[in-house]
Structure 1
């Protein structure tokens, strides 16, 4: 892979064929001169798709998930045999740009591979039968077997998985790991027999492996890129931070003594954990990490973080026990112990995916709270929501739309704005919720000052 910049455009250079299809393993790049602004637009649209994939993987109903994902893909990354050259270029180029964004650490690579693989799967299973067979013939080295010549026992086993009109394949069992693991293939004398309808699982494994190798290559050559490309990629990485790695990016700092006045800006997930801490003077491990990293993200120093936890925990234990059992974990979150990694606060998808233990208030309340308890929280709000607002929030919660519900909750507890501060379709990170809330209260202060004049 080579990147060249001429003036304000980026030239993608490939010695391979420029032939494109509607589904790709991303092994070749189109040759194009594209301005940097368009490149960034391409990459941001792909980020939106990957973020939505991450969010939808926590949804309750597979059918609704598939529908929503199809809608998002068609909106931001449409791709089919009827796609224009520009749409195909957009898909390829945006993938390679994000590959450069997510190649720098293991956490990023795992996230990128997981969601790109899900995108590939969604596109593969959306292909028409004709297009699917064409893709198989071009990318699968094994030919269909003559079903009639098979042993009767193998025939019967295969017919339990698919119809006689389908095509069936035979490959060495060493190449069918995922099919064997998921019991989608019949094993006989060192070979795996299976229907064409499960070949997608083999492609999934191949895609996963190819992207992992590609990320490693991108990491090795990143320093050789033109400075303008590096700056653009860093800009894209910062855009992704609010969804994936949100931290104290703007250098703000919150003192320990200010913290109580900031509770009103906590998202519901953090507010419930905080209230549990105040009530019990203790939190379980997962709750400590979730709240601790959030506090780090809003600007609380490690010194003040220790003061914060000590203030509550010493109401139930000795200082010696606190220092022995908890100081290390607090410093670990700040990268001062253990692996010395500067850990990022949990994003909404990460929190939604948590499974709280009994009597543990970690995780997303829009997911784990019972409808009854959730309704009681709404009824006790200072803003006194009406029945329509309550029913909308309950409907979003029960439908698995946690982030959209959180956005509506934010709108509810921050009334009086001429236009929303956050124009996204849902809250993407607890720390961004806090940031928008603090901005809201600053606006309210300014309005009060204007009234007093």
Structure 2
């Protein structure tokens, strides 16, 4: 049996010891239960890595008797079964990576769950264990000398927002600014000559970014070699029949986010995909939409969380800028009631997928459909310029549209407007919306505060 020295690992080397299929199934099913708990926490509106998130996960891990996770969270090096728990942790990661490498959505979901689990373990590591991890994983940064730190004291205190920390005893690091992109938009680092300076408490951001790249690249590679790499029928059957926990982007159910009449314009500007953003602007300007536009946008609003009462008020307020209330109630209100299942067959309409939107055929004067497929290319590129795209991003969008890779072009639009390094190819406007909100939360959540509290000397 391999000797696993630390709870934290980048899983660089696959496990080499023997493992029976029954044991393998037990190991993987326990890890899948951990993913399920994380998914439940997200649906309850808890933000990853916050105190309430961690409290919920720990309570559920104990309640469901996930023995491997319990031992690792306690981090008692001399407890019974500790090396076995680390072994199971290593095997579970590698076996499930074979299952989750098959599609982009699964790869992103797997990577997020693994990184959230990594962060929980990171918080419980002792200083000497963390130092050993940095050395073993080659994630070490350059330590800022005391002299340089004193010279930059004013800038570091202002930009890195560490006034609560004892500056003299806090270790600062510096790396190339491109290695820590999630902190740049929120101005939580000091930039100087291409280097980003940050305190020890922010190391988790650097590690998170490194591991995201590492795991994403590894999953992509596994996806390429998997069809020819597995020759054992029993293993193939095992992988194909694991009850995977997978992402569901259909309904946006985060209780901490409210989409209502007060903030819908701000939400549209920040988080809508281009197709829905266009329809929203058109409605605000012309106070009317044709049938297909009303269907595409109305059901989207329902599934991102706009209440029935707010939806009826929203549509009526816009339409009655051009018509009487009586005419709206008589001619148009039924459709919006129908979208929410209040009249007629009480149908719970599903939101449109990108494929369905691309397969629609907007006629003259119609504005539904996919901008990347249905718009004139010059109009699309002009929109990209007005949204502040760089020449490089405009060229990428143009090339993808010409190659008829419309979903990838939408992904490029997301990257350019969010300054993000996501790898998702969106399958629906709702998924784009969820990803946008989650990206904003990743910049503004209290992860730093949590680690400041845990690492404060």
Relative to the length of structure 1, the TM-score reads 0.50
1:264-309 CA-partner distances (Å, limit 9, x unpaired) = xxxxx9xx99xx9xx934469899xx94459x9xxxxx9xxxxxxx
Aligned match of 1:96 = 94
Pick from 232, 235, 247: which aligns with 1:229? 235
Do 2:190 and 2:197's aligned partners in 1 also have CA atoms closer than 8 Å? yes
Match in the other structure for 1:67: 55
Which 10-residue stretch deviates more, 83-92 or 174-183?
174-183
RMSD: 5.0
Asked if 1:24 corresponds to 2:9, the answer is: yes
**TM-fit CA distance, 1:51:** 2.0
**Out of 253, 256, 280, which is 2:334 matched to?**
280
- In 2 relative to 1, CA 213–353 (structure 1 residues): closer, same or farther, beyond 3 Å? closer
**1:127 is aligned to 2:133:** no
Taking the aligned partners of 1:166 and 1:152, their CA distance within structure 2 comes to 12
Counterpart position of 2:181: 177
User: Post-superposition shift, 1:165?
Assistant: 1.0
Q: Which has the larger displacement, 25-34 or 135-144?
A: 135-144
Aligned residues: 283
Q: Deviations over 1:232-253 (max 9, x none)?
A: 11111x4546x8599xxxxxxx
Corresponding residue for 1:366?
none
Change in CA separation of 1:178 and 1:245 when aligned onto 2, cut-off 3 Å: closer
- Cα deviation, residue 126, structure 1: 3.1
Question: Does the C-alpha gap of structure 1 residues 109 and 281 become closer, same or farther in structure 2, counting only changes over 3 Å?
Answer: same
Q: Distance in 1 between matches of 2:135 and 2:368?
A: 58
d(CA) in 2 for partners of 1:327, 1:188? 45
The residue matched to 2:241 in structure 1 has which SS? helix
Cα gap change, 1:109/1:227 in structure 2, threshold over 3 Å: closer, same or farther? same
TM-score, normalization by structure 2? 0.50
Question: Aligned in 2, Cα 1:281/1:117: closer, same or farther, shift over 3 Å?
Answer: same
1:293/1:346 contact within 8 Å kept: no
- Alpha-carbon deviation of 1:112? 1.4
In structure 1, list runs of 5 or more residues that go unmatched.
Answer: 1-11, 247-268, 297-301, 303-319, 329-337, 356-453
The aligned residue for residue 145 of structure 1 is: 144
Once the two structures are superposed, residues 169-223 of structure 1 have per-residue CA deviations (whole angstroms, 9 ceiling, x without a partner) of 1223233323333322211222221111101000001111111111112212222
Secondary structure of 1:23's match? coil
- Aligned positions of 1:3-82 closer than 5 A: 19-58=4-43, 59-60=45-46, 62-73=50-61, 75-76=65-66, 77-78=69-70, 79=72, 80=75, 82=77
When residues 57 and 154 of structure 1 are mapped into structure 2, their CA distance, relative to the original with a 3 A threshold, is farther
* Residue of structure 2 equivalent to 1:213: 217
Separation in 1 of the partners of 2:126 and 2:60?
A: 19
Alpha-carbon shift at residue 60 of structure 1 (Å): 4.6
SS of corresponding position for 2:184: helix
Q: Contact 1:26–1:92 (CA<8 Å) still a contact in 2? A: yes
